[in-house]
Structures are given as C-alpha cells and as structure tokens.
Chains A and B, each alone.
Chain A
C-alpha cells in the first residue's frame, strides 16, 4: 500500500494484549483514513448504546493517508470515540508534531479497548509496543507528565496525554499532545481516563511510501509557493494567529458575548489579535510541515496572570473572553494556560462558566452553591473555577459535567448554549445562519469544525456569502460537512486545505485534494468519489447516532437561537430559521423527514446490510 501503511495497532488494556491487523484495501479507500476508518471500526465492532466511560467503549487515534507525507499540513490526527458529554460521537482533532511521529511508527491507527487494572501508558516506537506502569505519573499536570515521559522513553518522542481533568473523568476533559495542542472537545480526555490510560508516547522512523512521489513533490512545491506569496502579502494567521478573529466577528455582530446574550462585545479591543502580538507574543509557531505558522508561543509577565505556553486561539478567546465578559487578553491567556496544563476543553469550560454566570445573574443559581462570587467579567473567578473543575472540587464538580447538565440541575436547560449537549463555538448563528444549520446537524453536536461555513460567511474564503440569508445554506452545509469529513479522514489541517486544495468557489470542488490523495495512495479517486467517501463517512456517523438513540428531534438549537432575536449589532432582530433549512437539508442528504438515511441513499453509498 501507498500513503496508508494499512496497519492498525489494537491494544486491549484489560489484558494488555497487543495485536496488529491489516486494513482491508477496499475499506481503506472507501473510508479514506482517520475519521472515516474510525467510524467504520466503531460501527462494526461496538454497540452504539455502550456507556462511554465503561470498558466497552473504544478509543481510536487515527492518522490519514496524507499524514506524514510532504503535503503541507499533512500532520493531523483524529480522536474518535463515543462521547461521555453528549452520548453522540467525539471526532476531536489536533496538530502539533505527534501525528507525524504516530504515522512514522508504521501504524495508521491505534484502537484502545477495555480498561487497564492500574494506570498505564503506552510506549510505541516503530513496531515495538510496551504497556508500562503510570502510577508515578498519575496526578501530574500535562507539562509534568510530558517531561517525565520523555526522560523514561526517548527525548525525541512525542506525547499525547491527559491531565488531572481526564483522570477525574471530567466530561469536558481533552487529550493534550506536544504539551500545548489539544484534541479537546466532547470529553475524549475522560474516555482515556476511564481506561486508566495516562499517555500514548510515540517515536517512529518509518517513512510513508508514496505512489507518485515526484508528482506529489511538484504539487506541494506549487502550493508552498502560493502560501509564501500570501504570507508575504500579509498573512493574518502568521502575524496574529486566530486571535485576529474577535474584531471581525464583533464587526459582523456574532462574537459570543456573555453566554450568547448578544453578538457585540464592548470590550473587544482588549482581546483582539494585535494586543496578543504586541504584548505577549514570543514568536509564531508552526505545526510539523506547515508553512502558515498560526500557532502562538506566548508569555504573560504579570503578578496574577503570569504564565507561558501556546495560544490563546480564537475559540478560547470567544468562550473564556467575550463569552464570560472578560476584556483582558492577559487573563484569557492565563485561563488558557491553566486549561492546557490540566487538560480541559477551553470552549466547553468557557461556555459552562458563562452559563453559570448568567444563571447567577438571573437568580437561578444561588451564589452559595458556587461558593464564591461569579459574575460576567470576573477573571479571578474564571481561573479559580477552571482549577476547581479540573480537580472536581467544590462547585467544580458540577461544572465538570458541562453546561447542559449544570443548567438542567437547576431546572433551566435553556441557559445552556449547546447542541446535543456540546457547547457552541465562537460564532453566534443568529448572525451566521449556515453555522446554525451546522451546529444542529453535525454528528458531534455544536461544532464549527464539522463543516465550517464561517469560511465563506465570515472570512470570504473561498468567496464571501451573506451570513444572514438561509438561501443555499442546506446545500452548502451538506457540501462542507462532506468535504470536511474528507479533510479529517485524510489527516490534513482545514486552514490550508480549504484555501489551497479546493477550487476557489464556495462549492468546494476538491481538484487538488484528489490529486494529492492519488499521488499518495495510487487509489485513483475521482473528485466525485472522494466527496462521496466524505458523504459515506458522514452517513455512517449518522447511523451510529441513530442507533445510540438520537432522532431528528435532536437536530435542534437552544431556544435563545430559535426564538430570542439578536438584540444588537448588524444581526439585530435575527433568529435562526432552522425550520426553513432543516427539511431541505434532509432532502438533499437523502434522508426522510425524521432525518433517517433512506435505503436508497445507503445503497448508493454502499452502506447496506447494517
């Protein structure tokens, strides 16, 4: 095989048995890799009704055929499992360097099953696999654990691990890799913690064989030159990171503010990109093989908010900044560092805190229950409660369950701004209607990365479309969801792929992406086949959700989004007309009016007999 190694490493943590399996070449092609292979494995092997924190749940790390190749940003991996936060799928994604080292071990995919009888970590170096005791590492923060692990394995190894939050089964815990990168969403860290698995350490020396290496190198050279020209002209991502975004979303009126009560934040100038660059940036940072370098190596010198690490990213600034009413970049940076050290999803903890703040404000949540004051704009409360959440101390134990369960506890689930119990990312859908349809239909719950229509609705990539219109959004969301499934399965980063690997029209035709896939694998995809593979992945994920008990009724949004008009800004007066978009979306997907894929659709996608 080319591009793919065609090998899965399976570890039964209960027995510590390790096995290697060959991947069926037809399955490899039909499901592309990464996120696609993972859902195929989960669907075939596991009852979607399993309890997510039980040994029966499976945790899958998946690279793609383009991971570890000369493709720029060919360095991403997916973490796929059943989510303890949502009960739906987790498809969490991260970059850094770990994915490339993982691919170099000679395995495309790791499947972790069962539960270890005591804390362990895995040390995978090329084809040698060891299950090692991790009792001495349990309780360590992410940076502490990584340092210790590199010393006892190999200083050139790369680590994916959980912090205290994952160990305590915090439902919004993530898996950190390369210390500062995060597969954060949907509680994947809790699943890893439930298996007593502290870390996965990888070191590999095996290259990825390519079907057409010269053609790949030529195309990659062309793409890198285009990126270089854009960077020269002024790349906002290199200069500011994703931190440049708050000022943009604020201008459009969709920056989440105080638990999505509005989309315009009066303090936005304090949390905007140039503040981060001018005051706290050490230098930009690139993931392995990336010419953009949107990462931020930062340091805050301050008696209260002092710290050092990477980020914050836009989503963190939206959730922990404007979402919580904080207008200090230093405070947001500090909150971000603490989340990374303890292994927490910044989006979910930010929006869970925001939910709590609004409930306190409206007299729903008694301050005595919180154990301290908690108001919008209180940075010290945010940082204290982040720590309490990671350790499940005091009110942190309630926050650790995520905003939906928190709000439901007080009888007011409408204060939880979530879809399928996953906290909203940084785009208020009342001012970006396509994002509303996306949040309602993504297979992991409210995710911008499942099909980020903010690209055209907000950023004008590949071209600008009207965010306030519902027209065309069903068709575009379907296309974006399918295309992003391909990107995730291939092992690429969305930032470069959308702009450079698809034709520059909003329909996202994958000309270059198809070429890259074929140069790597020799599988002879057409553009249609590649998009259909993305559609196949999305539909199989949907079948998993349906079997897990979800129905079309769950394809919805909070009451605030459907019924409370945006109070200020350019989107003033707007709600999400989900009822206008969803039926058309179902029709285009070939699903019935309850959102169930029809027999004809499944036959077309080769998903019969399931």
Chain B
C-alpha cells in the first residue's frame, strides 16, 4: 500500500538522498506499523513526535493505504 512519509526539522537528514526534500512516498506491506517505518529509516521513536494524517499517533499504530506519516523531534517553538 502507498504511504507518504514526511520528516521535519532535523529529521530531514534521515531522508534517503534520492528523495525530494522532506517528503518520500513508500510502498509498504499491509499491516505495517509506524514503528516499522521508523526502524527502516533509523529514526528513534524516543523523543519523536509522530503524526498520522495530522493527528498524534504511537509507534504501534497500524498504517492504512494513503496514510501520511509525519515525524519530527520533540523540541519547542515560538
């Protein structure tokens, strides 16, 4: 199934070099969890904020086709 991954702020560095900036479209098997995607890209779950379709999610969340996963480090803003 198609899943879109967005990595914000300093997590941009986890993007594969051939991808465009901070967005990357993935093909993943049914039943894939967020945790699997994090592991695939070497992104630590600890200290990360995970959004699926703009809403907070845990690493255990099972993904569906068309989901947009956004991950960024928990920091603070202005």
Q: Looking at the complex, which one of B22, B51, B53, B74 makes contact with A461 (CB distance below 8 Å)?
A: B74
Are B78 and A315 in contact, CB atoms less than 8 angstroms apart?
A: yes
Least distance between A284 CB and chain B CB atoms (Å): 13
B6 within 8 A of A: yes
Find chain A residues with CB under 8 A from B10 CB. 234-236, 239-240
B22–A570 touching, CB < 8 Å: no
Near A by CB (< 8 A), chain B positions 48-75 give 48-49, 51, 53-56, 70, 72-75
B interface footprint on A423-437 (CB within 8 Å = 1, 0 otherwise): 000100000000000
Q: A252-B51, A466-B56 are in contact. Are A314 and B78 (CB under 8 A)?
A: yes
Digit string of A226-251 for contact with B (CB within 8 Å is 1, else 0)? 00000001111101101011011001
Report how many residues on chain A are interfacial, defined by Cβ distance under 8 Å: 39
With A248-B8, A248-B77, A495-B76 in contact, is A570–B49 under 8 Å at CB? Answer: no
Q: Find out whether the CB atom of B77 lies under 8 angstroms from the CB atom of A244.
A: yes
Residues of chain A within 8 A (CB-CB) of B76 are 237, 455, 459, 461, 494-495, 498-499
Cα A239 to Cα B12 in complex, Å, equals 11
- Nearest B residue to A234 via CB reads B10
Q: Is A451 an interface residue (CB 8 A)?
A: no
Indicate which residue in B9, B47, B51, B70 contacts A239 across the interface (CB closer than 8 Å).
Answer: B9
Q: Which residues of A contact B55 (CB under 8 A)?
A: 466, 468, 570
What residue in chain B is nearest A253 (Cβ atoms)? Answer: B54
- Contact (Cβ within 8 A) A314 B54: no
State which of A242, A569, A570, A571 has its C-beta within 8 Å of the C-beta of B77.
Answer: A242
Alpha-carbon distance between A236 and B70 when the two chains are bound, in angstroms: 15
Q: Give CA–CA (A43, B22) in the complex, Å.
A: 51
Q: Is the interface of A mostly helix, strand, loop or mixed?
A: helix
Alpha-carbon gap, A466 to B51, bound state (A): 11
A550 to B12, CA, bound (A): 47
Residue of B nearest to A426 (CB): B78
Which residue, of A239, A460, A495, has the highest number of chain B Cβ atoms within 10 A? A460
Residue of A nearest to B13 (CB): A234
Q: Whose C-beta in chain B lies nearest to the C-beta of A313?
A: B78
CB atoms of A251 and B75 under 8 A apart: no
A547 and B12 alpha carbons, distance in the complex (Å): 51
Contacts of B77 in A (CB 8 A): 242, 244-245, 248, 314, 454, 458-459
- Docked CA distance A247–B21 (Å): 13
- Do A251 and B6 touch (CB < 8 A)? yes
Known: A251-B70, A313-B78, A455-B76. A234 touches B53 (CB 8 A): no
- Which residues of chain A from 51 to 67 have a CB within 8 Å of any chain B CB? none
Check if A559 is an interface residue, CB within 8 A of chain B.
no
Asked if A72 is at the interface of the complex by the 8 Å CB criterion, the answer is: no
- Cα of A269 to Cα of B48 in the assembled complex, Å: 22
Which residue numbers of A lie inside 8 Å of B, CB to CB? 233-237, 239-240, 242, 244-245, 247-248, 251-253, 269, 273-274, 313-315, 426, 454-455, 458-461, 464-466, 468, 494-495, 498-499, 569-571
Given A236-B9, A236-B72, output 18 extra A-B contacts at Cβ < 8 Å: A234-B73, A235-B10, A239-B9, A244-B72, A244-B75, A247-B9, A247-B22, A251-B51, A251-B54, A314-B77, A454-B77, A459-B49, A459-B74, A461-B76, A465-B56, A468-B55, A570-B53, A571-B54
